[in-house]
Amino acid sequence: MRIDGQCHCGHVTYEAEIDPDIVSICHCRDCQRMTGSAYRVTALVRAEDFRLTGGTPTLYVKTGDSGNRSFQHFCPKCGSPCYRTGEGEDADEVGIRVGTINQRRDLAPKRQIWCRSALPWAMDLSRLPSRDGE
């Protein structure tokens, strides 16, 4: 599936060819802190199928418990997290943040990971009152 996307202000833009079946929710504590939310939704793509088309993102290097480094790319102007890359065996993939993808309505997550860190209320939001706008 061909996608394109951008940060909130439009400075960082990209395009990619992704498999819509490789979209996941991560409930790990790092993703909670880096998004300021309950979880992060990511579409994985091979690095060769991802291309920046606009401004250069800023890089934050996060070292995991394993010692592996994860490179978090975000907009230097608006701060939107855009994607992540890695090193070693993770160097061949890009984790695009689904909220930045223009076609995000078509990308339903197919799995969840790090569920032991999930906030208990985040697993079922269907009972909350909802409105179409605020």
pLDDT tens-place values along the chain, 134 residues long:
999 999 999 999 999 999 999 999 999 999 999 999 999 999 999 999 999 999 999 999 998 777 889 999 999 999 999 999 998 878 899 999 999 999 999 999 999 999 999 999 988 888 888 888 87
What is the domain count for the chain?
1
Q: Write down the residue that tokens 């090193």 correspond to.
A: 87
Backbone φ and ψ of 58, nearest 5°? -90, 155
80 located within any domain: yes
131 located within any domain: no
127 located within any domain: no
pTM over cut 0.85: yes
Q: In 3D, which of 118, 14, 21 has the Cα closest to residue 73?
A: 14
73 located within any domain: yes
Q: Write down the residue that tokens 């995000």 correspond to.
A: 104
Range of the domain at 23: 2-122
102 located within any domain: yes
128 located within any domain: no
* CATH number of the CATH domain containing 13: 2.170.150.70
134 located within any domain: no
Q: Tell me the residue type at 80.
A: S
